[in-house]
Structure 1
Amino acid sequence: MRSAWTASNSAAEILRERRLRTISVAERNASATPFAMVVVRECAHMPEGSGRPLGRTLIRGGSLFDGTGTKAHPADLLIESDRIVEIAPSGVFDGRAVASTIDARGMTVLPGLIDAHIHVGREPDHDGRLYLDAGVTSARDTGGVLDNLRALRARALAGEWIGPRLRICGPLIDGAPTVWPAAMSFIVGEEGDGRNAVDQLAGKVDQIKIYSGVGPELVREIVARARDYGIPTTGDLAATRASEAIDAGIAGLEHASVAYADIVPVELQVSMRIFHEQSPAIWRRERNKGQAATDPSGPDARRLARQLADSGAWFDPTLVVLERLASLADPAVIEAPEVALATPAAQKMWAERVAGRKSAWTEADYATAHRAFEVELAFVGEAIAAGATILVGSDAPNPFVVPGWSLHRELELLVRAGLTPLQALTRATSGNATALGIAHMVGTLRPGKLADVLIVEGDPFADIRATRNVRHVLQGGVVRHSAVAVPARA
C-alpha cells in the first residue's frame, strides 16, 4: 500500500488509508501530569518497531543534512530495506515505483541522533522507546552490569528489544570505596589490577570507562593495556586529574566536571571522602563552593582546554545532567513537560533526590550551585574555542535527565557554550559515531549506510530547539516512531 505522510504546524499526523490511533501521555504513563501535552499518533496496521522495513521508501521534499558538517540542502532520500541507496536533488525520484513516501516538505532530514553517554538503567523496555521517540537511534552505555547489557544487545539482535543501537563499556573500573554497586564496578587498587581488569573485559565490551577512585598509576596501566587490545578508554575521574589522564593517552573524558582538579585552586578543592563519609548532597554542596569561585578562563583552564585540543582526546561535557543537578529546586526542571514521560518509579526516585537535597542545602547553596554550573559551561566554551573534540551525551537517566529528550537540551547547552547549531548536530551524528566506532554504519546519510533517519519540523540550524519537533524516526529502515513533540524550553 502506498502512503503519504505529512505534518501540520500544530501536530504531526500520518495520513494513510486506514484509521489512526491517538495515544496520550496519560495512556502511556498513568502518573502523567496535565502540563505534558504530548501526543503520539500511530498507524493501526503498521505498528512502530515491528522490525520490518517499509520496503523501498522515498523521503521527499525536505532539507537534507547528511551529518558531514556541510550545510543542509534540498534533496530526496531513497531507502531500500535497511539501507540508504541513493540521494538526489529534489524531484529526481518522482515517478519511481516505491512502497512508501514520506512527505518532508517544511522539514529537515538528519541522521539519527547518537547519545554518547547513557546508562540503560532498570527499565530498558520503557526507556528504549523514549530514545527512539526523541530521534536517538544509537547510544553508548558508559557503565552498567555487563551481563545485563550483553543480554539486552542479544535481545535487540533477536528483535525482542526496541531501543537505540548500543555500544557498551560494561562495569566501571573504580577504586575502593566504590561510588556504585559492586555489580557494576570492577575494583582495582594495586599494581597489576588494572591489567587484570582489562584482560577480563576484553572481547566483551566496546570501550572501557575508568572511574573516580582510580589514581594516576593505575590509569596509565589500564590505558596501556586497553591499547594493546585496541579498546578505547574514557574517564570520569577525581583521584586522577584530567591532564594526567590525557598524558597517559586516554581516548576521552566524561563530564565538564572532570576539569575540577585541574582548574579549581587546590585550597578550594574538596575530597571524595566527604561523599563516602557524609553524603553525596553535602559533598556536592561543598564542591560547588570551590567551583563557583573558579575562573573558567584563567591560565589553568586555558591550559587544560589547549591540552584537550592538542591531544585529540574527546570531551563529552554532559552539560544537561550538570544543569539538572544544579537545579533540583527549580520548577522549570522538576516540572518540565518531558518528566511525565519517565516511569512512575523513576519519578519517585527523582523526587526523593530533591527531598534529600533540600534537607542538606540552603537557598544560598542553590545559588552557589547555579554559579558553579556557569563555570562548567564557560570551561566548555574554552575547550570549544581551543578546538577540542566535543561529543554529545546526556547521562540519562540521572534525576530529571529524561532518556532521549534530554539530548535535545544538551544540544541547546552546547550551542550556548559556543558551538554553532551546524557544529552541534555534526558532533551528535558523525562525531559521536566516529568516537563510538560505528561511523561505518551510521552517523551520516550516505548510500550504503544504515537508514537511521530523523525528520524534524522546522530548521534546527536557525534555532537548535527545532530538533525537538520530531516527526518521523527510522532505524535501519524500520519506522520506530512517527509524530511526537515535546515543547521547547523557553
Structure 2
Amino acid sequence: MCVESTPPPPGRLTRRGVLAGAAALAGTSAVLAANAPGASAASADPATAHRPGRGGDLVVEGGTLLDPATGEVTENAVVVITGGVVRAAGRRGDVRVPAGSAVLRAHGRWVLPGLIDAHIHLNTAAEARDAVRKGATSARSGSTNFYQDIAVRELARQAPEQAPRLRAAGIFVTPDLGDTILADPDLAPLARLRDGVRSPEALRRVVEVNLARGADTVKTRVNERAGLPEQDPLAQVYDHEQLSAIVAAARRGGKGVLCHSYSEKGCHDAVTAGIRSLEHGAFVGERTLHEMRRRGTYFTPTLTAIAGLAESADPVLAERGRAYLPVLKRAVLAAHELGVPLAAGTDSSGGTVDPIGREVELMRSAGLSALDAIRTATTGAAKLLGLGSTAGRLARGFAGDVLVVDGDPLADVTVLARPVHVVRSGLPV
C-alpha cells in the first residue's frame, strides 16, 4: 500500500477542526476564555484567533545585568520594557525611565534574559505555565501526539505570561504513529500501511500534513528510544535515504528538521541527510561532529533527560542513564571545542517539567565555562529557533523576557534553576 494517490491535505475546515480538538486536549481554550471576560470558546480557537496579546510595560531596576552575547556585566542596571519589548538597558543614570512605570526591584540580584528550552514536550496549558515559571520564556517543541503544541503556541501569543514563546513541531514523524493516526483525518490513509511510515510517499505525507496544520519545524528519529526499557536506543529505524526524504519535504515547506538519535551511524546518517539539529546524540563520533561544524548543524544533547534515566526505578533505564551520561558529556565538550553550536533542552515530558537552568548546570559540568553554558540556553538556542534578534539578550528591540536570580550565575550556574522572578514579554509570571 502507498499513499501517493491520496490528495494533499485540504484547507481551512479540516485545519480548524483538528486544531480546535488540540486546544481542547491541551486545555488552552479554557485558559484563554477564562482570561478574556466576555470571550466565547470559539474566540479561543487557535485556528481562528490571530490577535496576539500585548506585552506589558515594566522597569527592572537595581540588579546586576548580564549580557550573554558579550559577557558584559552591568551593575546597578535598569531594563525598560514597553509593550513587551526592551526599549533600553544599561547603567542607572544612562537610561531614561518613563514616569509612572511599574517597577520590579532587583537590588542585590542578577538579571538575565529569559532562558530558552530547545527541546521540550508541552502537551497542556498547565505544563506550559510550569515551564515559564521555571525560567523557560521561549522553547521549541519536541513534538506532541495530537498537535497540542500548536495550541500551546497560540496560548503563548495571546497570553504571553501563560506559556513560553514556542516553535511547534506538531506530530512525530516515526515508523509507528500509533494513536496519533486519530489526530487528523488526513493521516487516516496511513493506517493501511503494513510496514508503517517508511516509504518516501508516506514520509512526505506526514510532513505535509504537519506543515498544513501550522508546524514550525519537523521532528523525526533515526534510533529507538532510550527511555523505554524494551527498546534498543542504538537500533536504527530510518536510513539515510528515508531521512533525506523527510528533510526534503520539510525544506519544501521552508522548515528544518530536528532528529532524535543515539548511535554514531544514526547520527552521521541524520547529519549528512541535512537535519537542522541533532537531539540526544550520546554516541556521536568525531567524524560526525566535524560534519556538523561544517554544515552548522546544532547539537541539543538533552543532558537533563539522560541524567534522569540514571535515577529511574527501572534497573535497565538506570544502568542506561549511568552508562550514557558520561559519554554524552564527553561528546558535548568535544562538540564545543570543535565549534559545533550547542543548544540547551530538557526533553521534559509526561507532565513533569524540569527547569531549563538544570540543563545549563549539566552543560557546565560537561566542561563548558559558565558563560558558554549560559549561552546554550540564551543566544545559542535563540539562533537555532530563528529568534537571534528577538530572544536571548536584554538589549533594545529584544523581547522583554527577564530572569532574576539570587546570586552570580557566572560563579554558580545552579542559581538559574531557582529563579526569584520571571518576566515574559514585560509581564511578571
User: TM-score, normalising length from structure 2?
Assistant: 0.74
How has the CA–CA distance of structure 1 residues 409 and 95 changed in structure 2, closer, same or farther, with 3 Å as cutoff? closer
The one-letter amino acid of 2:215's match is V
- Contact 1:412-1:464 at 8 Å conserved across structures: yes
1:87 corresponding residue in structure 2: 89
1:196 corresponding residue in structure 2: 205
Matched, 1:394 2:394: no
Note the C-alpha offset of 1:421.
1.2
**Partners of 2:400 and 2:247 in 1: CA distance:** 34
- Contact 1:62-1:108 at 8 Å conserved across structures: yes
How has the CA–CA distance of structure 1 residues 445 and 183 changed in structure 2, closer, same or farther, with 3 Å as cutoff? farther
**Partners of 2:369 and 2:262 in 1: CA distance:** 30
**Partners of 2:70 and 2:311 in 1: CA distance:** 33
**Partners of 1:140 and 1:366 in 2: CA distance:** 27
Range 99-108 or range 460-469, more displaced: 99-108
| Number of equivalenced pairs | 350
- Contact 2:79-2:90 at 8 Å conserved across structures: yes
Range 191-200 or range 307-316, more displaced: 191-200
- For residues 313-354 of structure 1, the C-alpha deviation after alignment (integer angstroms, 9 at most, x for no partner) is 0000001100111221xxxxxxxxxxxxxxxxxxxxxxxxx3
**Partners of 2:330 and 2:179 in 1: CA distance:** 29
| SS of aligned partner of 2:100 | coil
From 229, 249, 257, give the equivalent of 1:225. Answer: 249
| SS of aligned partner of 1:110 | strand
Give the alignment of 1:265-344 within 5 angstroms. Answer: 301-328=285-312
2:227 corresponding residue in structure 1: none
**Partners of 2:56 and 2:218 in 1: CA distance:** 36
| SS of aligned partner of 2:200 | coil
- Contact 2:143-2:149 at 8 Å conserved across structures: no
**Partners of 1:435 and 1:160 in 2: CA distance:** 21
The one-letter amino acid of 1:236's match is H
Note the C-alpha offset of 1:209.
0.9
Superposed structure 1 runs of 4+ greater than 4 Å apart: 51-54, 93-96, 178-187, 365-369
- Contact 1:76-1:88 at 8 Å conserved across structures: yes
The one-letter amino acid of 1:304's match is T
| SS of aligned partner of 1:199 | helix
- For residues 172-205 of structure 1, the C-alpha deviation after alignment (integer angstroms, 9 at most, x for no partner) is 11124x5885457985211332333322222511
**Partners of 1:320 and 1:166 in 2: CA distance:** 20
Matched, 1:242 2:267: yes
- Contact 1:136-1:164 at 8 Å conserved across structures: yes
From 360, 365, 373, give the equivalent of 1:424. Answer: 373
Note the C-alpha offset of 1:87.
1.7
1:118 corresponding residue in structure 2: 120
- Contact 1:252-1:313 at 8 Å conserved across structures: yes
Matched, 1:255 2:239: no
Give the alignment of 1:167-206 within 5 angstroms. Answer: 167-176=167-176, 182=181, 188-203=197-212, 204-206=214-216
The one-letter amino acid of 1:206's match is D
Unaligned runs of 5+ in 1: 1-50, 263-300, 329-353, 481-490
How has the CA–CA distance of structure 1 residues 229 and 395 changed in structure 2, closer, same or farther, with 3 Å as cutoff? same
Percentage of identical aligned residues: 29
How has the CA–CA distance of structure 1 residues 167 and 183 changed in structure 2, closer, same or farther, with 3 Å as cutoff? farther
Matched, 1:448 2:397: yes
- For residues 127-152 of structure 1, the C-alpha deviation after alignment (integer angstroms, 9 at most, x for no partner) is 22221221111111111134433333
- Contact 1:58-1:98 at 8 Å conserved across structures: no
| SS of aligned partner of 1:68 | coil
**Partners of 2:321 and 2:428 in 1: CA distance:** 41
**Partners of 1:110 and 1:188 in 2: CA distance:** 43
How has the CA–CA distance of structure 1 residues 165 and 214 changed in structure 2, closer, same or farther, with 3 Å as cutoff? same
How has the CA–CA distance of structure 1 residues 182 and 321 changed in structure 2, closer, same or farther, with 3 Å as cutoff? farther
Matched, 1:371 2:323: yes
How has the CA–CA distance of structure 1 residues 230 and 130 changed in structure 2, closer, same or farther, with 3 Å as cutoff? same
Note the C-alpha offset of 1:308.
2.3
**Partners of 1:466 and 1:221 in 2: CA distance:** 43
1:408 corresponding residue in structure 2: 357
- For residues 236-272 of structure 1, the C-alpha deviation after alignment (integer angstroms, 9 at most, x for no partner) is 1369611122112111110133x3xx6xxxxxxxxxx
User: TM-score, normalising length from structure 1?
Assistant: 0.66
The one-letter amino acid of 2:322's match is H
The one-letter amino acid of 2:104's match is I
How has the CA–CA distance of structure 1 residues 92 and 84 changed in structure 2, closer, same or farther, with 3 Å as cutoff? same
How has the CA–CA distance of structure 1 residues 52 and 309 changed in structure 2, closer, same or farther, with 3 Å as cutoff? closer
How has the CA–CA distance of structure 1 residues 454 and 244 changed in structure 2, closer, same or farther, with 3 Å as cutoff? same
The one-letter amino acid of 2:88's match is E
- Contact 2:306-2:321 at 8 Å conserved across structures: no
| SS of aligned partner of 1:62 | strand
2:68 corresponding residue in structure 1: 67
- Contact 1:445-1:451 at 8 Å conserved across structures: yes
Larger CA Rg, structure 1 vs 2: 1
- For residues 445-478 of structure 1, the C-alpha deviation after alignment (integer angstroms, 9 at most, x for no partner) is 1212221111111100111112134121111111
1:483 corresponding residue in structure 2: none
Note the C-alpha offset of 1:160.
9.4
Note the C-alpha offset of 1:404.
4.5
C-alpha RMSD of matched pairs (Å): 2.7
The one-letter amino acid of 1:403's match is V
Range 468-477 or range 239-248, more displaced: 239-248
How has the CA–CA distance of structure 1 residues 208 and 463 changed in structure 2, closer, same or farther, with 3 Å as cutoff? same
- Contact 2:220-2:260 at 8 Å conserved across structures: yes
Matched, 1:208 2:233: no
Unaligned runs of 5+ in 2: 1-52, 191-195, 224-236
- Contact 1:107-1:456 at 8 Å conserved across structures: yes
